[in-house]
Each structure stands twice: as C-alpha cells, then as structure tokens.
C-alpha cells in the first residue's frame, strides 16, 4: 500500500512539473521542450529527487518515444516524401552530411570512442521540427516565402532521422562482435520484415479504421488508433527494431486515411501530453553534475552546431536560388536541435551515454534561445553580411547559384531529366522484363541438367550451351536498352555538365576532360581522407560517387566529340 502511494505521489509530481515546465516556457516565450528538460532535471533523482522511481521514468520515456513517433508519422506520412522537391532533398542531404562529419570529428577530438562519435554526429545532423515551427509561429514569421521549402526539408530530415534511429537502436553501446556493415544488413533485414508486414496490413487496417471511425464514437476512434500504434510497435520489437519505428509506420497508415485530419484532431491532445512526459522523463535522466563536468564539450557541440548549421543552410539556400534575406531567415530558423536528437541520444547505452544525453539536452535549450535571438536580428545580420563578404565571393556564389538553380530545375519531378527518364523507361521496361525472363529460364535449365543426372563433360557442355543460348538474346536486348537510355544519358550530361550556349565545342571538351580528371583524382584521394579523419567505413562509397560523376562528364566529352566530328566532316 505504501509502495502504491509512493508511485501515485511520484506520478503526481510528473504531471505537476510537466505543467510547470510548459507554463513557464510559454510565459518566457521559449519552446516548451526547453522548459520540460530543465524542470525534469530539477525534479529527477539527480537534483531534488521528487521523482526517483527509475522504472516509472523509463516507462514514460519509452511510451513517450512511441507516441511521439506515432504523432510524427501522422503529420508526415511516408508517401509525402515522394512529393518533396528535389531541391529540398538536395539541400537536406548536404546539410545533414556536413553536420554529421563535424559532430563526429568533434566527438573524436574530445576522446569519445568511434561508436559514441557516430551518436554525436547523428545527433547534430538533425533540426527540430516542433521547436522550429513553434519559434517561427511565436514571432509571426510562419508566412515567410521560404517556409514551404523548410517544411519539405524537415519532412526529408524526419524520414532520415527515423532511419538513423532504426540503426542506432540496434547499435546500442558498441560493436563487440560485429561490424557496422553487419549492423546495417541486420537493420535492412528487419526493416524488410517490418515493411512486408506494413504492406500486407496497410490497406485492410485502413479500411477497418475508416469503417469504425465513420460509424462509432470518438472514444472508439482513439482506442483503434492507439491499438494500431501498439500493434506496430510490438511487431517492430519482435523483429529487433525500436518499437518507435513501428509507431511511426502506424502513424503513416492513419495519415493515409481520408479522415486523417479528424483523427489527428481527436488524439492530438493525448499525443501532446505523452510527448511532454517524454521530454520531462529525458530531463530526469540528466545529471547536472555531468553537464558541469563536461561543459566544454556541451558548449563546443552547441557552438559547432550553430556555426556549421547556419553557414551550411545559408550557403545551400542562397546557391540554389533563394535571395539573401530568405537564406538568412532559413538559416536562423534551422539552427535548433530537437526531439530526434534527444531520441538518438537516449538509445546510447555505453559509458559515454550520460555525457551524450546531457550535452544534447544542453544543446537543445541553448540552440532554441540562439535561434530565437537570430530571428529577432535579421536586419542586423543582413547589414553585417553585406558589408563583410568580399565582392569576389559574392560573384562566385551568384555563378554557383545559377548552376545549381538550373540543376534543381532539371532534376525536379517536372524537369527535363525526369521527363526524358519516363519516356525512355516506357521503351526499356519491356526489354528488361524479357532479360529477366531469359535469366529465369537459364537458371531453370541449369537446374534441370543437374536433376536429370548429367555429369562430367556432358554436364559441362550442356551448361555452357544454356549459357551461350541465353547470353546471345540478353546481349542483344541489353544493347537495345542502352539505345533506349541514350537520351537519358544525354539529358543527364546536359543537366550536370552545364555550359554556355555560345561556348566553342573544343573548349567544352577541354573543360569536361579537366573536370573528369579532377573527379577521378578526388576519388583516389578520398579513401585517404576517410582514414585520416577516422570516419567509419560507411563513407567509403563516396569515392564511387566521384567516379560516377566523372563518367557523366566523359559521356559529355564523347557526345561533343561526335558533334565536332560531324561538324568538321560537313565542312
């Protein structure tokens, strides 16, 4: 009886401090996440110890994470990522990659092991959706023309963050008996199993929910939605993934329903309450003494995130078509660490886990305040930048902006490259199907030879005959596919190897050759750079990207060389 009374009392403190953190944050015009983290730290076992039941804290932490991802899934369904512009995807990939590398290197510099450095890099690469929108709305800036692009970028980031959380939830505290590649294969297998379950149940469950929610009461609507959330969480846990990933997919099922907005309105208050309890429980896991002991690391993380995020987002926005004011607004709004950063930090389990969580929580509070201050000083920032940036740098940035804006236009869903790709795919898919059919027949033929009992020289001759008979039409069909795809390759080279329309063909060929050689040289040096920076082997694929780009420029060389030959022959 005494134990039950103690649990009820501690739960009461949970609710009380969640209320206090939210109210104080609103009064001070700060994001509620910052207030919840601070008040949770005060009420937790490391400070006032008003809530000391670790089981209760972890329960709310896990349940809150599940429902937080469920809410994200409802807001940003998986299908909406396909509607995001190529520009948003391009900017987000570069922004997250740059921040990851800086965060990783910073962690290595402070003596953390490589696995912990991965956690720090991932934590720094993500901007908060909830806090960013809250700050912008509080300041009345949510009608800025850059907001739709930032919204698309945050959709991409949230999907990437879910994938990162999937990986890190299996990574845990280290790699005692497996490599990063083994972990990735394990995650991909688990995601495949969960994805198969998701595909199988999505439409039947959606029909059931739609039928129930259109005829039954509000209470049943809430019950069915939460039941789906817990079911998908349980399935994710059974295949070895974080239950929060299953909750995210459950949210995407709800988001695909015609009445999803109605369901969201009904269950949003409960989701907000549990999200508040999640951030409060995270604050209770933070030891103020750990922050004090590692304050240089926490300040360094915050400073690196703000400086690198601001400069990279500003540069990427400006060089892809935004004007200076809009680029400044986007950069100021995006310098906020948030919920996914803390989710990733919370799944770390090694000896550095308390340091990572404490530094991340410090960063969330600090960056929310810094972002608010930057948004209040847009005119001053514009004047400062206009007077300090050299004219030569401005000219180079404008030239790069023209190039990247054209690239974004060509690679957008309505751009010339995608139009050419769709047309060529319609021609090539039949041949690809025939190649697959011939391949299946070849495998079946080789199996039949073995089953019929042939052996020795006879088996070898028959297997070789099957290979030759199948290879001839496959080569012919492959050549046909190449001919069908040639317009795509031409369009790709036109999009990437852009040049002035009045440029001489000889100068275009020389320029493309120089760029191709530079890219090949970069692909040779990049593995050395990876080794020098102690980056994980996952970065070794980047040199293949340099090779692929060099092939695009070499194709442009061949295309213009043929054009030059025809021109001279015509003379």
Q: Residue 243: CB partners within 8 Å, gap ≥ 6?
A: 62, 65, 66, 233, 234, 236, 237
Comparing CA positions, the residue from 40, 549, 557 lying closest to residue 288 is 40
Q: Looking at residue 294, what is its pLDDT?
A: 84
Hey, which of 2-16, 324-338, 435-449 has the most confident mean pLDDT?
Answer: 324-338
Q: Residue 170 corresponds to which tokens in the numbers above?
A: 């299996």
Q: Looking at residue 170, what is its pLDDT?
A: 65
Comparing CA positions, the residue from 382, 364, 376 lying closest to residue 326 is 382
Model confidence at 173, pLDDT cuts 50, 70, 90, reads very low
Q: Are 247 and 73 in contact (CB under 8 A)?
A: yes
- For the chain, what is the mean pLDDT? 77
Query: Average pLDDT of 108-115?
Result: 84
Does residue 240 have a pLDDT over 60?
yes
The separation between CA 472 and the C-alpha centre of its own chain, rounded to angstroms, equals: 43
Does residue 163 have a pLDDT over 60?
yes
Q: Looking at residue 187, what is its pLDDT?
A: 59
Q: Residue 237 corresponds to which tokens in the numbers above?
A: 């846990």
Q: Looking at residue 193, what is its pLDDT?
A: 62
* Nearest 10 degrees: Cα torsion 307, 313, 314, 318: 160
Bigger pLDDT: 33 or 19? Answer: 19
Query: Average pLDDT of 243-259?
Result: 75
| Whole-angstrom distance, CA of residue 345 vs CA of residue 348 | 6
Q: Are 454 and 465 in contact (CB under 8 A)?
A: no
Instruction: For residue range 368-381, list pLDDT tens digits in order.
Output: 888 888 888 888 88
Q: Looking at residue 307, what is its pLDDT?
A: 93
Q: Looking at residue 38, what is its pLDDT?
A: 83
| Whole-angstrom distance, CA of residue 106 vs CA of residue 527 | 20
Going from the C-alpha of 20 to that of each of 25, 175, 269, 273, 276, the distances in angstroms are 8, 41, 17, 13, 11
Bigger pLDDT: 414 or 308? Answer: 308
Among 95-99, 166-170, 185-189, 258-262, where is mean pLDDT lowest? 185-189
Q: Looking at residue 176, what is its pLDDT?
A: 45
Q: Looking at residue 310, what is its pLDDT?
A: 92
Does residue 77 have a pLDDT over 60?
no
Query: What count of Cα atoms within 13 Å lies in the side-chain half-sphere of residue 534?
Result: 16
| Whole-angstrom distance, CA of residue 161 vs CA of residue 156 | 9
The proportion of the chain whose per-residue pLDDT surpasses 70, expressed as a percent, equals: 85
Q: Residue 497 corresponds to which tokens in the numbers above?
A: 């190897």
């Amino acid at each position: 009886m005494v134990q039950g009374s103690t649990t009820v009392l501690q739960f009461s403190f949970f609710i009380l401090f969640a209320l206090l953190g939210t109210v104080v944050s609103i009064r001070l015009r700060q994001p509620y996440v910052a207030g919840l983290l601070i008040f949770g730290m005060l009420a937790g076992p490391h400070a006032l110890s008003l809530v000391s039941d670790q089981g209760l804290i972890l329960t709310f932490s896990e349940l809150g994470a599940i429902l937080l991802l469920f809410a994200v899934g409802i807001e940003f369904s998986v299908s909406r990522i396909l509607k995001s512009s190529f520009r948003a995807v391009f900017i987000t990939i570069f922004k997250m990659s740059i921040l990851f590398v800086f965060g990783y290197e910073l962690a290595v510099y402070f003596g953390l092991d490589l696995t912990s450095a991965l956690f720090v890099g991932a934590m720094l690469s993500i901007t908060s959706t909830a806090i960013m929108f809250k700050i912008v709305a509080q300041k009345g800036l949510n009608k800025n023309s850059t907001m739709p692009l930032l919204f698309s970028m945050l959709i991409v980031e949230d999907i990437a963050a879910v994938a990162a959380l999937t990986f890190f939830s299996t990574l845990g505290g280290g790699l005692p008996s497996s490599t990063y590649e083994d972990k990735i294969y394990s995650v991909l297998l688990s995601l495949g199993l969960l994805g198969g379950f998701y595909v199988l149940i999505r439409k039947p469950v959606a029909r059931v929910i739609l039928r129930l929610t259109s005829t039954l009461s509000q209470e049943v609507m809430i019950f069915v939605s939460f039941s789906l959330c817990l079911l998908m969480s349980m399935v994710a846990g059974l295949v070895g993934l974080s239950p929060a990933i299953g909750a995210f997919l459950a949210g995407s099922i709800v988001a695909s329903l015609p009445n999803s907005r109605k369901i969201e309105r009904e269950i949003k208050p409960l989701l907000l309450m549990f999200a508040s309890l999640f951030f409060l429980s995270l604050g209770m896991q933070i030891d103020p003494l750990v922050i004090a002991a590692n304050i240089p690391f926490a300040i360094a993380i915050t400073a690196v995130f703000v400086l690198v995020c601001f400069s990279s987002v500003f540069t990427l926005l400006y060089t892809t078509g935004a004007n200076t004011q809009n680029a400044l607004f986007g950069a100021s709004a995006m310098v906020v660490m948030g919920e996914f950063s803390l989710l990733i930090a919370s799944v770390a389990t090694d000896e550095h886990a308390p340091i990572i969580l404490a530094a991340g929580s410090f960063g969330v509070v600090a960056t929310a305040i810094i972002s608010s201050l930057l948004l209040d000083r847009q005119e001053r920032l514009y004047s400062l930048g206009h007077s300090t940036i050299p004219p030569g740098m401005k000219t180079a940035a404008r030239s790069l902006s023209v190039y990247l804006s054209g690239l974004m236009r060509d690679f957008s869903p309505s751009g010339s490259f995608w139009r050419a790709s769709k047309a060529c795919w319609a021609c090539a898919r039949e041949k690809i199907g025939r190649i697959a059919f011939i391949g299946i027949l070849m495998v079946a033929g080789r199996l039949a030879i073995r089953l019929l009992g042939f052996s020795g020289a006879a088996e070898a001759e028959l297997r070789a005959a099957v290979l030759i008979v199948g290879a001839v039409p496959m080569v012919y069909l492959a050549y046909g596919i190449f001919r069908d795809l040639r317009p795509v390759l031409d369009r790709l080279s036109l999009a990437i190897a852009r040049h002035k329309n009045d440029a001489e063909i000889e100068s275009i060929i020389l320029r493309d050759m120089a760029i191709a050689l530079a890219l090949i040289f970069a692909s040779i040096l990049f593995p050395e750079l990876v080794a020098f920076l102690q980056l994980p082997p996952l970065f070794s694929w980047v040199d293949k990207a340099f090779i692929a780009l060099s092939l695009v420029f070499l194709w442009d060389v061949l295309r213009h060389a043929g054009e030059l030959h025809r021109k001279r022959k015509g003379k």
